[in-house]
């Protein structure tokens, strides 16, 4: 027994050390954690249980048979975050660039299946050059099997991807299929085709950071959701994200003790009455949610709409809000995509939705029309129409045109639509509307400017208020700004027993 124990401990010792010691030393010098250290830094202390430590690579071609690829370049297992179970894997760049061969993939799919069967989130720490070139079709098959599971688990368990090194090919497509992607400044890279391949195919030299760094994917492409300064900040933010999410679609959301907002400024003083004046809608959010804590997603992408998580009376909710500070809060191609995806995530995981409306409509112009605002904007209408979680809307100020309809209006079967006294609901703003419908009258007038101003005043009187939609039942109640939080809490409480409508067919065809 003693002899066998000592052999066992020796073998474990070698495997746990991971890639070669030279590389480990270089990583340490560069301030980088190893794959194992990353897992340990993310999970609750001493909760990691590794599985498949003894798995060996199966590749034999191009000299692979002479290499000892420790753990086949990936560490997999389960553990706890905030005392709740999660499954996790971390690729080891020190082992053949974290590249994915057949057994590496088999380890990952096993842990994904475990997460799916047990109903717990799965977190993938990606640090990989993609499909292992030497293993040919076996590597591609491996990624195919991962992608299939990413897809089948979508909406069933939360899937979180962390990019912690240069990631290419399958190591970016799997994250793209998951719910949230975290990237780290100066460390993470995502590209379908790596710079070395680009150079040999196209003869172009490209800087990895400019091709697919954390800034690029957080602010330009929208592939990433969180921009983090370093590895430790990333782990903190993953823990925070998970604190808002259920472990699986059919599990309860994690509730905490209700706490009043810390931010005490009233809505009446945050929202300027003059509809041409901008303000920060995050101040509105902070004034109404528990502890004034708002965990924003995709903060650097399409800032004209703000999305993220918060708590109301201790229960997590998803928030969508037009941001008057950026492009007047208009809906454009990117903000429609961002919002539609967020709404569908919340709907899949039973997170009630609060929508704060203040927008002049869809962003006009040739750029947006040609970029497909019709198709992208349609996704948002589709997502809200399909949502069956409790939905509450508060119209803060402007709610014009298609934007009014799309932003969780009563017509899309929103449970409660409230409006502040400053709300205005109309097909379009007074100036544009009068220039169209009274064009002839204004032109024929002796004093066209006087008539124009008069017509605008008439229009405002008729449409630029919440009483007109409230008189038709499109707004359920006009509320005093000071009672906003209490009204929203009561509405969410009332909607918490809502039974989602059952679908009579397979699935809709969202205009992707
Ligand atoms: C096998 C790989 C590899 C790969 C890297 N390595 N990528 N081995 N297959 N895909 C090995 C290198 O040979 C090297 O081994 C070690 O990992 C470190 O790589 P370096 O190139 O030295 O590191 P670095 O300069 O940091 O560059 C990292 C990189 C680059 C940007 C990831 O290696 C690269 O561009 N790799 C190719 C990426 C790519 O295009 N992959 C697509 C695969 S297709 P040694 O022994 O020298 O230390 C794919 C299909 C899936 O994934 C489906 C997609 C839809």
How would you write 373-416 as a 3-class SS string?
A: HHHHHHHHHHHHHHCCCCEEEEEEEEEEHHHHHHCCCHHHCCCE
pLDDT at 499: 86
pTM: 0.95
Three-state SS at 195: helix
What local confidence, expressed as pLDDT, does residue 194 receive?
85
Half-sphere exposure (CA, 13 Å, Cβ side) for 343? 28
Nearest CA to ligand 1 atom 48: 96
What is the Å distance from ligand 1's center to 395 Cα? Answer: 50
Using the Cα atoms of residue 90, residue 93, residue 95 and residue 96 in order, give the sign of their dihedral. positive
* Number of helical H runs and strand E runs in the chain: 21, 17
For ligand 1, atom 33: residue with the closest CA: 129
CA 158 to chain centre: 11
- Closest ligand 1 atom to Cα of 96: 17
Instruction: State the pLDDT at residue 337.
Output: 98
Q: Is 129 in the pocket of ligand 1 (CB under 6 A)?
A: yes
Q: Is the Cβ atom of 197 under 6 angstroms away from ligand 1? A: yes
Is 96 touching ligand 1 by the criterion CB < 6 Å? yes
Ligand 1 center to 307 CA (angstroms): 35
Query: What is the CATH topology of the domain spanning 267-426+465-495?
Result: 2-enoyl-CoA Hydratase; Chain A, domain 1 (3.90.226)
Closest ligand 1 atom, CA of 194?
35
- The single residue listed with the structure tokens 């902070």 is 286
Residue 143 Cβ < 6 Å to ligand 1: yes
Report the nearest atom of ligand 1 relative to the CA of 171: 52
Cβ of residue 97 lying under 6 Å from some atom of ligand 1: yes
Among protein residues, the one with the nearest Cα to ligand 1's atom 22 is 97
> Tell me, what DSSP letter sits at residue 213?
B
Residues of the chain with CATH 3.90.226.10: 11-244, 267-426+465-495
pLDDT at 2: 73
Task: Supply the pLDDT for residue 387.
Answer: 96
In this structure, the residue with its CA closest to atom 18 of ligand 1 is: 97
Query: Mutation test of ligand 1: which of 19, 24, 129 has the most ligand atoms closer than 8 Å to its C-beta?
Result: 129
Ligand 1 in reach of 99 Cβ (< 6 A) = yes
Each residue's pLDDT, cut to its tens digit, for the chain (512 residues) gives 778 788 777 777 777 766 566 778 888 888 899 999 999 999 999 999 999 999 988 778 888 888 777 888 999 999 999 999 999 999 999 988 999 999 999 999 999 999 999 999 999 999 999 999 999 999 999 999 999 999 999 999 999 999 999 999 999 999 999 999 999 999 999 999 888 889 999 999 999 999 999 999 999 999 999 999 999 999 999 999 999 999 999 999 999 999 999 998 999 999 998 888 999 999 999 999 999 999 999 999 999 999 999 999 999 999 999 999 999 999 999 999 999 999 999 999 999 999 999 999 999 999 999 999 999 999 999 999 999 999 999 999 999 999 999 999 999 999 999 999 999 999 988 888 898 999 999 999 999 999 999 999 998 888 889 999 999 999 999 999 999 999 999 999 999 999 877 778 999 999 99
- Atom 3, ligand 1: which residue's CA is nearest? 129
Q: What is the DSSP-derived secondary structure letter of residue 280?
A: -
Nearest ligand 1 atom, CA 98: 17
H/E element, 433: helix 430-437
19 lines ligand 1 (CB under 6 A): no
Ligand 1 centroid to 108 CA: how many Å? 19
Where would I find the H helices in 309-387?
Answer: 333-348, 366-371, 373-386
Superfamily of segment(s) 11-244:
2-enoyl-CoA Hydratase; Chain A, domain 1 (3.90.226.10)
Overall residue count recorded for the chain in this entry: 512
Q: Which atom of ligand 1 is nearest to the CA of 143?
A: 51
Distance CA 181, CA 89 (A): 15
Q: Is the Cβ atom of 133 under 6 angstroms away from ligand 1? A: yes
Any atom of ligand 1 within 6 Å of the Cβ of 95: no
What ligand 1 atom has the least distance to the C-alpha of 132? 9
CA neighbor of 362 nearest in space, from 338, 383, 385, 336: 336
Structure tokens at 142: 């491996």
Distance 35 CA to ligand 1 centre (A): 17
Do the Cβ atoms of 171 and 100 come closer than 8 Å?
yes
Select from 94, 130, 143 the residue to mutate for testing ligand 1; criterion: most ligand atoms less than 8 Å from CB: 130
What is the per-residue pLDDT for 298? Answer: 98
- Taking the CA of residue 133 as reference, the ligand 1 atom at the shortest distance is 9
pLDDT of res. 21: 65
Contact 311, 298 (CB under 8 A): no
What's residue 84's pLDDT?
Answer: 98
CA nearest ligand 1 atom 45, residue:
96
Ligand 1 within 6 A of CB of 460: no
């Amino acid at each position: 027994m003693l002899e066998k124990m000592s052999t066992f401990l020796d073998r474990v010792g070698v495997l746990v050390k991971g890639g070669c010691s030279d590389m480990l030393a270089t990583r340490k010098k560069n301030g980088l954690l190893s794959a194992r250290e990353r897992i340990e830094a993310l999970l609750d202390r001493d909760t990691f249980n590794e599985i498949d430590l003894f798995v060996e690579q199966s590749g034999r071609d191009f000299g692979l048979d002479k290499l000892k690829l420790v753990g086949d370049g990936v560490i997999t297992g389960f553990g706890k975050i905030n005392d709740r179970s999660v499954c996790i894997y971390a690729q080891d760049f020190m082992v053949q660039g974290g590249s994915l061969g057949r057994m590496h993939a088999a380890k990952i799919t096993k842990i994904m299946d475990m997460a799916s069967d047990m109903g717990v989130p799965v977190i993938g720490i990606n640090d990989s050059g993609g499909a292992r070139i030497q293993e040919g079709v076996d590597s591609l098959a491996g990624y195919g099997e991962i992608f299939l599971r990413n897809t089948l688990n979508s909406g069933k368990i939360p899937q979180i991807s962390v990019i912690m090194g240069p990631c290419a090919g399958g190591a970016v497509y799997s994250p793209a299929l998951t719910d949230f992607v975290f990237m780290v400044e100066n460390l993470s890279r995502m590209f379908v085709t790596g710079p070395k391949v680009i150079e040999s195919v196209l003869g172009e030299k490209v800087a990895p950071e400019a091709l697919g760094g954390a800034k690029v994917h957080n602010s330009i492409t929208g592939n990433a959701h969180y921009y983090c300064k370093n590895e430790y900040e990333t782990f903190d933010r993953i823990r925070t994200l998970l604190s808002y999410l259920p472990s699986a679609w059919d599990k309860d959301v994690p509730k905490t003790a209700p706490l009043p907002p810390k931010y005490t400024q009233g809505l009446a003083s945050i929202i300027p009455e003059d509809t041409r004046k901008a303000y920060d809608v995050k101040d509105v959010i902070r004034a109404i949610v528990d502890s004034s804590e708002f965990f924003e997603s995709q903060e650097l992408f399409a800032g004209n709409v703000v999305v993220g998580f918060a708590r109301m009376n201790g229960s997590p909710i998803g928030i969508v809000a037009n941001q008057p500070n950026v492009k007047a809060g208009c809906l454009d191609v990117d903000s429609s995509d961002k919002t539609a995806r967020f709404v569908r995530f919340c709907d899949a995981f039973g997170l009630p939705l609060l929508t704060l409306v203040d927008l002049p409509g869809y962003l006009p112009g040739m750029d947006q029309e040609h970029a497909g605002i019709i198709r992208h904007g349609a996704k948002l209408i589709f997502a809200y129409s399909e949502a069956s979680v409790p939905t509450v809307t508060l119209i803060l100020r402007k709610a014009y045109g298609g934007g009014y309809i799309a932003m969780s209006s009563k017509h899309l079967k929103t449970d409660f639509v409230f409006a502040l006294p400053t709300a205005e609901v109309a097909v379009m703003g007074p100036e544009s509307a009068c220039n169209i419908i009274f064009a002839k009258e204004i032109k024929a007038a002796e004093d066209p400017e006087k008539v124009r101003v008069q017509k605008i005043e008439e229009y405002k009187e008729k449409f630029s208020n919440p009483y007109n939609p409230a008189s038709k039942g499109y707004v359920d109640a006009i509320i005093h700004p000071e009672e906003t939080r209490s009204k929203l809490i009561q509405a969410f409480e009332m909607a918490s027993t809502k039974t989602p409508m059952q679908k009579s067919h397979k699935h809709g065809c969202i205009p992707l």
